[in-house]
Chain A
Amino acid sequence: MTREDWQLIGFTARMAATSTLVILPVGLALAWCLARAQWRGKVLLETAVMLPLVLPPVVTGLALLKWFGRRGACGSWLHDTLGLDLIFTWRAVVLALAVMSLPLLVLASKSAFEEVDQTFEQIARTLGAGEWRIFFTITLPLARRGILAGTLLAFARALGEFGATIMVAGNIPGQTTTLSVAVYQYVQLGEDAHAWVLAGISASVAFLAVLLASGHLVRRTKR
Chain B
Amino acid sequence: MSQDIEASFVKTFSGGPQIRVENLRTSGPALTTVLFGTSGSGKTTVLRCLAGLEQPEEGSIRFGDEVWFEARGPLLPPQKRAVGFVPQEYALFPHLSVAHNIGYGLNRVRHRERQERIRETIVWLGLEGLERRRPAELSGGQRQRVALARALIGRPRLLLLDEPLSALDGPTRLRLRGDLRQLLKQLGIPTLLVTHERTEALALGDQLIVMDGGRLVQRGPVHEVFSRPTNVAVAGIVAMETVQPGRVVESADGLVSVVVGQSKLVSLSSHLPPGTEVYICIRAEDVVLVKGLPARSSPRNSLSVVVKALVPEGPIMRIELDGGFPLAAILTRQACEDLALRPGEQVTALVKAPQIHLIPR
Contacts and interface: CB of A to CB of B under 8 A. Distances in A.
Interface of A: 117, 119-120, 122-130, 133, 137-138, 141-142
A137 B94 CA distance: 12
Nearest to B94: A142
Contacts of B151: 126-127
Nearest to A119: B91
Interface in B73-108: 77-79, 81-85, 87, 91, 93-95, 104-105, 107-108
A125 B78 contact: yes
Contacts of B87: 119, 122-123
Given A119-B87, A138-B93, A129 B53 contact: no
Contact of B79 (A119, A125, A137, A141): A125
Nearest to B156: A126
A61 B91 CA distance: 47
The majority secondary structure among interface residues of chain B is: loop
A125 B85 CA distance: 10
B145 interface: no
Contact of B154 (A123, A127, A130, A142): A127
Given A124-B93, A126-B85, 6 more contacts: A119-B87, A120-B91, A126-B83, A128-B108, A128-B154, A129-B105
A119 B81 CA distance: 17
A129 B93 contact: no
A31 B335 CA distance: 65
Nearest to B147: A123
B91 A127 contact: no
Given A128-B79, A138-B93, A122 B53 contact: yes
Nearest to B80: A128
Contacts of B37: none
B73 to A, nearest CB: 19
A125 B154 contact: no
Given A119-B87, A122-B53, A122-B78, A127 B105 contact: yes
Interface in B131-160: 150-151, 154
B321 to A, nearest CB: 46
Contacts of A133: 107
A188 to B, nearest CB: 51
A223 to B, nearest CB: 9
Contacts of B93: 120, 123-124, 138
B107 A117 contact: no
A150 B33 CA distance: 48
A123 B82 CA distance: 12
B107 A123 contact: no
B52 A129 contact: no
Nearest to A130: B79
Given A120-B91, A122-B78, A141-B95, A127 B52 contact: no
26 contacts: A119-B91, A122-B87, A123-B91, A124-B93, A125-B52, A125-B53, A125-B78, A125-B79, A126-B52, A126-B79, A126-B81, A126-B83, A126-B84, A126-B85, A126-B151, A127-B104, A127-B105, A127-B150, A127-B154, A128-B107, A128-B154, A133-B107, A138-B93, A141-B95, A142-B94, A142-B95
A154 to B, nearest CB: 24
A19 to B, nearest CB: 29
Contacts of A122: 51, 53, 78, 87
B208 to A, nearest CB: 25
Contacts of B108: 128
Given A122-B78, A123-B85, A123-B87, A129 B95 contact: no
Given A119-B87, A133-B107, A126 B94 contact: no
A118 to B, nearest CB: 9
A119 B54 CA distance: 12
A89 B116 CA distance: 57
Nearest to B87: A119
Contact of A125 (B77, B82, B95, B150): B77
Closest 8 CB pairs of A and B: A127-B105, A125-B78, A126-B85, A119-B91, A126-B78, A141-B95, A128-B79, A122-B53
A127 B79 CA distance: 6
B297 to A, nearest CB: 55
Contacts of B51: 122, 126
Contacts of A137: 104
A12 B85 CA distance: 52
A141 B53 CA distance: 22
Contacts of B94: 142
A31 B104 CA distance: 26
Contacts of B83: 126
Q: Which of A125, A127, A137 has the most CB of B within 10 A?
A: A127
Given A117-B91, A119-B91, A142-B95, A124 B104 contact: yes
Contacts of A138: 93
A162 B315 CA distance: 75
